[in-house]
Amino acid sequence: MVDSHHIVPNPEGGWDVKRAGSNRASIHVDTKQEAIDKGRELSRKHGTELFIHAKDGSIQERDSHGNDPRNVKG
């Protein structure tokens, strides 16, 4: 299974960056854009996928920062 980070709204306000399977936020910030910026940094550093969620919990965007195979035919 691919590891991932998620940008999610915090029920008490602001936005959280959470690693998949974790109950606690890795980062909590006031704005969604701050969370996206910090989440992308973490995702690139750890080679994970990044899921950006809307306020309703749906996935708005997905970025892959893992090790993509090179020289793939097709």
* 46-74 pLDDT, tens digit each: 999 999 999 999 999 999 865 555 555 65
Task: Say if 33 falls within a structural domain.
Answer: yes
Q: Say what the pTM is.
A: 0.83
The pLDDT value given to residue 1: 46
- The domain of 53 spans 4-61
Contact, 43 vs 49, CB < 8 A?
yes
Task: Say if 12 falls within a structural domain.
Answer: yes
Task: Say if 32 falls within a structural domain.
Answer: yes
Task: Say if 30 falls within a structural domain.
Answer: yes
Task: Say if 45 falls within a structural domain.
Answer: yes
Which of 74, 17, 10, 12 is closest to 51 using CA atoms? 17
Q: What is the torsional sign of CA 64, 40, 48, 51?
A: negative
Task: Say if 74 falls within a structural domain.
Answer: no
Q: How far is CA 25 from the centre of its chain?
A: 11
Task: Say if 19 falls within a structural domain.
Answer: yes
**Total number of domains constituting the chain:** 1
Cα–Cα distance, 53 to 16 (Å, whole number): 10
